[in-house]
Amino acid sequence: MANSFYPLYTKGQLDPQSEAILDQIAKANGNPFSSLTPQQARECFLPQSWIGAPIDGIQIDEEEITGKGGGIPVRIYTPKGKPPFPITIFYHGGGFVLGTLEEFDPFCSRLAAGARCIVVSVGYRLAPEHKHPAAVEDAIAALYWVTAHAEEIHGDRTRMAVAGDSAGGNLAAVTSMIARDQGGPCLVCQVLICPWVDLSTSATESFRVFGEGLWLSEASIHWYRSHYLESMEQSLHPRVSPLLMNDLSRLPPTLIVIAEFDVLRDQEYAYAERLQEGGVSVSCTQYDGMIHDFPTVPGLFNRAQDAIDEICMALRMAFMELSKTDKDDEDTTT
């Protein structure tokens, strides 16, 4: 039976909350992001009712670090407990154009509490004011800053992960590749939430069946990309489209969270397959009935917390496994 919002897709059924928000958007009859200026889109990107509220018990501090383009704001979420804590560096979504640190407070606070780690959320430069490679430069600068200042923020530089959603998932994947190629910090895990890993094409089945959607459409993808890149030629570079990297070996164990009703779904599965071919340990979870980037809006979707719980468990296991390995090494040498 076809879905009323996605009549070309007959294999699954929208979750009731996914259907409800799409119905709300349809009835509002508002302008899609692709018809707005970046500033207009930023003003209505993530309503407070969608993102929920930060959870209690997480200390939130702000810093400004230095990158190639000047100051980079970061927000540091520290859980209760005894330091040093493992660290997750988080890159938010928004198509490289939208998103603020404040809008991802609720998600990051849940991540810090559930994974029992410090979360460093990075306010990288946005397009079109700052086109590629500005976001990538800021992403890698944040990784090196956290590594150098881990003790100051009560973190453990030997247990670090990266995570990101949508465009932020792209930055997390690219940061992992750059760290590997530069002999940089060793990451124990990368968490990619509905990641946009190939900006070069929309020629996939998931684009065909979901491309006219009200949530993340093909037109919106083109809008984001046109603001982020100087030219389509840039989309072929692996630091823009990590799916196109020739060598995807020696990357950290990876969790990819996938929404069934998402134009990016097929490229996410393709990335998982490429990682596995490179010998990387990969876990993929598809959340049936859900739409793009649902985990980052826990105020909107009940299943967002299910995905957050899975992410936190994957991070805890990665941090714990490294601690166990270190202890085993110490026992061997004594």
Nearest Cα to Cα of residue 289 among 271, 307, 273: 307
Q: How far apart are CA 65 and CA 318, in angstroms?
A: 27
Annotated active-site residue 266? The verdict is no
Annotated active-site residue 329? The verdict is no
CB 214 within 8 A of CB 22: yes
Of residues 165, 198, 262, 293, which has the active-site annotation? 262
Of residues 132, 227, 237, 292, which has the active-site annotation? 292
User: What is the C-alpha radius of gyration for the chain, rounded to an integer number of angstroms?
Assistant: 19
Give burial (CB, 10 Å; 0-12/13-18/19+) of 131. Answer: middle
Of residues 166, 176, 217, 220, which has the active-site annotation? 166
Sign for the pseudo-dihedral over CA of 97, 220, 36, 6: negative
- Ordered alpha helix ranges (H), the chain: 16-28, 38-43, 48-51, 105-115, 134-148, 167-181, 205-210, 218-228, 265-277, 303-333
Annotated active-site residue 166? The verdict is yes
Residues labelled catalytic: 166, 262, 292
